[in-house]
Every structure is written in C-alpha cells, then in structure tokens.
Amino acid sequence: MAREYVVAIDIGTQSTRAALVDPDGQIRDIASSPIDLSAPRPGWAEQDPEQWWQTTVDNIAAVLERNRGVHVAAVGVGAQMHSLVAVDTSGAALTARSALWSDKRCLDQVQALLGRPDAEELCQLAGNLPVPAWCGFKMAWLRAHRPAAYHRAATLLVAKDFVNLRLCGTLATDPTEASGSFLCDAASGQWSEPLLAALGVDRAKLPPITDPATVIGAIRAEVAKRTGLAAGTPVVAGSGDMLCQLLGAGITRPGQVAVVAGTASIVAVAAPEATTDGRLMNLRSASGGWMHFGISDAAGKAFRWFADELCPAMTDFGDLTEAAADVPAGSAGLLFFPYLLGERTLGSAQSRASFVGATLQHDRAHFIRAVLEGITLEDSRALRVLCPDGVSEPIRCIGGGAGSDRWNQIRADVFGHSVQTLAQPEGGIQGAAILAGVGAGWYASAAAGAEQVARPARTWTPSPGPAEVYAEAYRTFCAVHDALAPLWARWP
C-alpha cells in the first residue's frame, strides 16, 4: 500500500506554509511564502486575507508539484489566532485588511465592557478578562467604525476558518478559537447570548463550533485544479496556531509547560479547567482540556525589529545570537523590555519597548544579548504566575526561537529549570498534521497522535553562576517595569 500523507497548513504572521507530513510526524516536503504586515497607526496590526489564501494555494501547489502521485488523506489548517475576516455570502472579504491578534484598536470596546456593572459576571462567563486580542472586541469595533462592512457580513471568521471556507466551502470554527473570542461560554463551550448582547454581535453572523479533528468538508473541485489536491479530500476544522504548536509539542497532560518562541512568546501550562487568575488567559486546547498562558505579543517580532533596524548587516538569526556569545550573563546591567506591541494582562496595552541601563561600555553585542534576555525575563514573569509552585517536567521550547542553543541556555538559566527541545521543531505544522491525521483515521485522538509523534531532542540545564545573575536581574526587571507602568497612559 502506498504511503499516505496529510497536508498541514500554517498561516503565520510573517509567512504561510504548507507541508506533506506522514503518520510518524516526519515532514516530507514544505513550501513557504512571505506575507506582508501593515501597521498604519500605533497599536494597529493588519494583513490582507486574500494574501493568506493566495499564498496557501501557491504553497500547496508547489509541494504537490514536487511530489507528484502522493496520496493525501486529509488537510488540516492551523493559523494565527483572533484575526477578523468579515465575508459576504460568496466568501469574499469585505475589508482590504484584517485586524490581527496583536492589534489593539478595540481598546475602547474593552474599556466599555469593563465599565459595565455586570463586567465581573461576564468575565466569569467567558473564562477570561477582556483584552483587545479577543476577536469579539474586534467585531464590536467593526460594527462601530465600519458599519457597512459589519452589516453586509454574512459571517465573521478568523484566519483559519476563512482558509477552510475557501478550501471546502464550509462555515465552521473550533473551540480553541471560540474560547478566544469573549463570546463563548467557558463552561458549555457554546456561543453565549449574554456575551453576544454585551458586545453587540449578532449570533447569526457566527459559524458553528466543531471539534478541531472533525472533518467539516472536502476539497472543492476549483481548489483541486489550482493546488493539485484531489477533489473530495477531507478537511478537518483545525485549530489556532498556538494550540497546534502545543499539541505538536506533546503538551496534553495537566502540568506540562511549554514556551512557544515565535513572533509572540507564549508560556503555557496544560490544565483540566480554566483558571480564574486575572493575570492569565485561557484557551481550550486542541486535544481537550484547557491551556493557561501568558504572552508577550512582540517577542520574536522585537528581535526581528532589532535586527532589521539596528543590525542590517547581520541578517542570519544564528549569527545574531552568536554575536552575544562573549557577553556575560546580565549584559552588564542593560535591560530590554519587549513591549513594541504593548502588553496583554501583565501590564498595559499602552506599554512601549525600551532599553534601560545603557552606558558607554555597552556595544552592539550587549544590546543583542539584552534583547534575548529581556524577552526571556518577560517569559519568566508569566511562568512564575502560571506555576507558583514550580515545574516538575522539563519546559518544552518550540517555535522558530527554539533553534538557538545560545538562547535555550539563557532560558534555562533565567527560568532556573531545564529546557527541552523536540526532534521536530515545526510544532505548528505537526499539530495541524495530527488533527488532519485523526480525520484521516491515523490516530484515535489528538492526544494519542501527539503521544506518537512528539519526541524530545535535547535538554539544557541551568548553570549556577548565570542563574544567580539572572535571579537578581529578574528582580530589577520587575522593579523597573512597575516603575514605568504608570507613565505609559500619557505617552505620546
């Protein structure tokens, strides 16, 4: 019997990708396309949904052209979360660009909800505090500021569900995305009439909620012609990219912890139910249960910004991180605060990025290391809230930033705990492939698939000297953060 594959699709913030993946989680081939990010105003972050779709078509076609004759058993999509695409009855996007997960334009809608007398009750119902990331607030902003697009919209979708609609013609979302909308009842997992009413969102404009591994439709004939996929190939509902990454890393049991080192840096712990700690956020996992997490919206993006703007001659990620090899832990007192896109719950959405403590002794290498350390110190703030009693297993590190040995050692030293990478670093692709694999009949469940394919690779342990330096640096980092926090609201 010919070997089967699934096509796993990843819609990121900086690129889109498509890959052929086998039942053992091995990637046979992958294609990638860059995508543009627009920031027309402070706090805004937008992309063109048509570019998501066109590059996805191109990526699938490229992979299948290079691998003619392979049998694709199913298709699964993972995508950046909380974006908003308003579509008409034909599936056409009604706005030229979509507000992304990191977009803060709907802060007024968030503040309006916080000002309601029933705000606490609504937050308990949603299982989260209101933050601009949640897609429901973007819908409320669209209704207030782009009323024509809102009222013309037949359906309000996120990036993954928009791509699925184009692939198979089916309107659907999944629990990972629904739980991040502030429109879904955390207990029942269904759309909530009180939350819909509070944000002024029409229930008729929302798709049904379906398990991530459920087959929702089949590849349309038109898509088959453009991509090389066989018409009728099953398409599963898929999941938000963060939850795909955590699934691909094997984070399915309560107490397991991971750092997702991507455009954003996410620290997450698996749990059986949502947390009520307002400093954290909750999302349904792709395998059942919940993920509690903290997030730095512009972590990897901050490193890329620093490299592009201040080190234009050093374009390679490895060269940049190794440039800091001779700088001792702590960067001689230089601290970096990675808030280029503000903060979510451990600070203000109006926070700004900054370097603090620079002197004439600091050179470029100090600044590079300070960026790596600052992102990690921010991760440590989230970790200490998530796991106040410590962590029992190695912290798994996934995403593009997990590829640096230097940075992984910094993580272990800052966290004071071992850090582990995986044999397959493409966590998002692997998570989407696991969900497609369940739809194809490969695995009994998403958790079973993750258990089969997630394999640890290397472990870093804390070094006593640097760990002591970082323990003091962490105290200073928190003190400076708290001193600056009251100032950001009046910053120009």
The whole-angstrom separation of Cα 406 and Cα 217 is 44
Non-local (6+) Cβ contacts of 94 within 8 A are: 86, 87, 88, 149, 152, 153
Q: Tokens 């088959």 — which residue?
A: 224
Beta carbons of 460 and 409 less than 8 angstroms apart? yes
The correct CATH number of 4-240 out of 3.30.420.40, 3.40.920.10, 3.40.50.1000, 3.10.20.740 is 3.30.420.40
Q: List, for the chain, all residue ranges whose pLDDT scores fall below the cut of 70.
A: 1-2, 315
237 contact partners, CB below 8 Å, separation of at least 6: 164, 172, 173, 174, 210, 211, 212, 213, 214, 216, 435
pLDDT at 1: 40
**What is the pLDDT, as a whole number, of residue 385?**
96
Q: Is-contact 421 394, C-beta < 8 A?
A: no
* Phi, psi values for residue 143, rounded to 5°: -65, -35
- pLDDT score for 2: 60
The residues, ordered by sequence, that sit 6+ positions from 112 with a Cβ below 8 Å of its Cβ are: none
Q: How many C-alpha atoms does 117 have within 13 Å on its Cβ side?
A: 0
Q: Give the domain ranges of the chain.
A: 4-240
Unique residue bearing structure tokens 């070094």: 463
Contact 192, 126 (CB under 8 A): yes
The torsion angles phi and psi of 374, rounded to 5 degrees, stand at -65, -40
- Using CA atoms, how far residue 55 sits from 50, 51, 421, 433, 476, in Å, is 8, 6, 29, 19, 44
Sequential DSSP letters for 19-66: EEE-TTS-EEEEEEEE---B--STT--EE-HHHHHHHHHHHHHHHHHH
Q: 378 and 337 in contact (C-beta within 8 Å)? A: yes
Sorted by sequence, the CB contacts under 8 Å of residue 151 that are 6+ apart come out as: none
How much is the pLDDT for 25?
A: 95
Q: Is the pTM of this model over 0.85?
A: yes
Q: What is the pLDDT of residues 404-453, one digit of tens each?
A: 999 999 999 999 999 999 998 888 999 999 999 999 999 999 999 999 99
Q: How far apart are CA 165 and CA 176, in angstroms?
A: 17
Residue pair 394/419 in contact (Cβ under 8 Å)? The answer is yes
Burial label for 360, CB within 10 Å (0-12, 13-18, 19+), is exposed
- Which amino acid makes up residue 433? A
> Residue 395 pairs with which residues in a beta bridge?
419
- The pLDDT score that the predictor gives to residue 104 is 92
What pLDDT does 315 receive? 67
Helix (H, G, I), strand (E, B) or coil at 230: coil
